Structure 1
Amino acid sequence: MTLSLGDLAGYTDRDLDADLARWFSDAERVEVPAETRSVEPFLARLAPDDAAALAALDRRVRSGALPLFLDVFDWSYGFDFAGNDCRILDSDYETELTDDDVYSIGADGDGNYFCVLTTGEIAVWFHEEEVLEGGTRFDNLDVFLWSYVRYGAVRAGRLALAEVEADFRALGQDGALDEGLGLLSRMK
């Protein structure tokens, strides 16, 4: 039976810790300073399920117990775009957004940030063009984290791609499919 988006609702609070313990128990722990941008004002702009997922992630990030499976550092979590003179353009390359419209939750290792949007979607902000690029989206944080944990586990040789490839395809997320961000092609 293949996985559906509905199956992943509540993943961040319910299953993230167990998956990280299974595949990343030996990983360095995330540390962000106390003065890291608060997530609270942003949570108020999200639908309840999206706010619950981001609040659950935020608790784990700030606890110091979250394994480093995504580049979550003081410079990537809660990034202050305006304070760092960075623009945020939507995927149309015209609509300008602000820090109130996004909350960065980590980086991809190339200077690009994974951002939660007020729609609950996750998109990659490409630093070179300062744009939330199309083809990089995930429907919500639960499906993004489920995908990224498995991406990291496959890349680390702790999970076989064959065990999750059908689920990635069934979920149909732009950020995972080869035509988009390409997590699947990066795992092969």
Structure 2
Amino acid sequence: MALTVAGLTGYVDRDLDADLARWFADEPPISLPADTRPVEPFLERLPADAARALAAFDQRVRSGKMPQFIDVYDWSYAFAFGENECGIVDSDYETQVPEEDVFAIAADGSANLHVVLADGRVAHWFHEEEVLEGDTRYDTLDVFLWSIVRYQAVRAGRLTLAEIEADFRALDQPGAVHPELGLLRYLK
């Protein structure tokens, strides 16, 4: 049976811990300061499934036990765009997006950020243009995390591209399959 976006709903609560233990147990834990901006005000803006996924991820990130499988640091998680004099525009390069409509969850290995949007999707904020890219989004945080865990596992030599490619294509998430910007492109 083909993997579906709906089938991954609840991944953070159901399977993320086991996947991280399987592939990233030797990584140091994520550590954030106690005064990191809280996620709760943003959770109220999200659809129910998205709020559950982000709350579960936030609890794990703040626990001090989650392996560093993605670039979650004090400067990337809960990034304060306004305090850092950074704007946010949508992919049309015109529509201003209020800071309260995004929550940064990680960096991408540079100063670009993965952010959860108020509609529950995950977007890539490109710092040089301060834009939420349109061609690299994910339908949900569950799907994004499922994808990025496997992407990182391939990069670490713990999975092969052949083991994940069909599932990535079945999910058809632009952030994974875009021919120039998707995760699969960087694994080939």
Moved runs in structure 1, 4+ residues, more than 6 A?
none
SS of 1:55's equivalent in the other structure is helix
Which residue of 1 is the match for residue 110 of structure 2?
Answer: 110
- Measured in 2, the distance between the counterparts of 1:113 and 1:136 equals 12
RMSD of aligned residue pairs (Cα, Å):
0.8
- Confirm or deny: 8 A CA contact 1:136 1:180 kept in the other structure: no
Residue pairs, 1:3-152, within 5 angstroms: 3-152=3-152
Unaligned runs of 5+ in 1: none
**Number of residue equivalences:** 188
Within 2, Cα distance between the matches of 1:180 and 1:132? 16
State the Cα deviation string for residues 78-115 of structure 1 (Å, max 9, x = none): 00000000000011111111220100000001210000
Q: Provide the TM-score with structure 2 as the length reference.
A: 0.98
Aligned partners of 1:187 and 1:22: how far apart in 2?
A: 20
Q: Which runs of no fewer than 5 residues in structure 2 stay unpaired?
A: none
By how many angstroms is 1:7 displaced? Answer: 1.3
Note if 1:171 corresponds to 2:177.
no
Q: Per-residue displacement from partner, 1:122-152 (whole Å, max 9, x unpaired)?
A: 0000000000011010000000000000000
Instruction: Tell me by how many angstroms 1:185 deviates.
Output: 1.2
What percentage of residue pairs aligned between the two structures are identical?
A: 63
Could you say what secondary structure the match of 1:175 adopts?
helix
Q: How many angstroms apart in 1 are the aligned matches of 2:101 and 2:42?
A: 8
Quick one: which amino acid aligns to residue 68 of structure 1? Answer: Q
Q: Distance in 2 between matches of 1:57 and 1:119?
A: 17
Q: Normalised by the size of structure 1, how large is the TM-score? A: 0.98
**Counterpart contact for 2:136–2:178, Cα < 8 Å:** no
The aligned counterpart of 2:182 is 182
